Structure 1
Amino acid sequence: MNTARLIGILLIIAGGLAAAYGGFSYTKQTHAATIGPIHLQMTEQERVNIPLWMGLGALGVGVLLVATSRKT
């Protein structure tokens, strides 16, 4: 499998996931304190939005790479 085909497949997968879910979220630890036996911790959940046009663009470029790459 050549590099262009592999990158195309990865772009198809990433573009499909981005178009389907519209982004991803992660948890970020903001503050922590330990006072004696008590441990306090603050976490925030952040969301990264991926525009639909970017997901569909990655999907299209991936399909184009897979279709135009030749097997050597």
Structure 2
Amino acid sequence: MNLKTIGIGIIIIGALMVFYTGFNYVTTEKVVDFGPIQINKQQNHPVQWSPIVGIVLIIFGGILIIPEKK
């Protein structure tokens, strides 16, 4: 795997991070378990990042794509 392929992959990941600044996942917790009666609670867990991180990745990927002089 060469640096150009890695750079293109980093640019794609950076672009996705700019457009999608986070996601949520949901967990279910059992609150009450009293015989046949069960009460569950769903909890949101947001995962977010700054779009600046995506921009930095795009720049870093662009640097990797630039060919080196031999």
Fold conserved between structures, TM > 0.5: yes
> Which residue identity lines up with residue 35 of structure 2 in the other structure?
G
Structure 1 equivalent of residue 26 of structure 2: 27
Q: Please state which structure has a larger fraction of its residues in helix.
A: 1
5 Å-filtered alignment, 1:30-69, equals 31-32=29-30, 33-68=32-67
- Once residues 44 and 3 of structure 1 are traced to their aligned partners in structure 2, the CA distance between those partners, rounded to angstroms, is 43
Moved more, 34-43 or 53-62: 34-43
TM-score normalised by the chain length of structure 1? 0.68
Where in structure 1 are there 5+ consecutive unaligned residues? none
Structure 1 equivalent of residue 4 of structure 2: 5
- Once residues 33 and 9 of structure 2 are traced to their aligned partners in structure 1, the CA distance between those partners, rounded to angstroms, is 44
Sequence identity, in percent?
A: 27
Instruction: State the Cα RMSD in Å.
Output: 2.1
Change (3 A) 1:9 1:39: farther
TM-score normalised by the chain length of structure 2? 0.70
Deviations 1:17-67 (A, max 9, x none): 1100112221133x3143222332212112222112111101111122133
* Larger-Rg structure: 2
Where in structure 2 are there 5+ consecutive unaligned residues? none
Deviation at residue 3 of structure 1 after TM alignment: 4.2
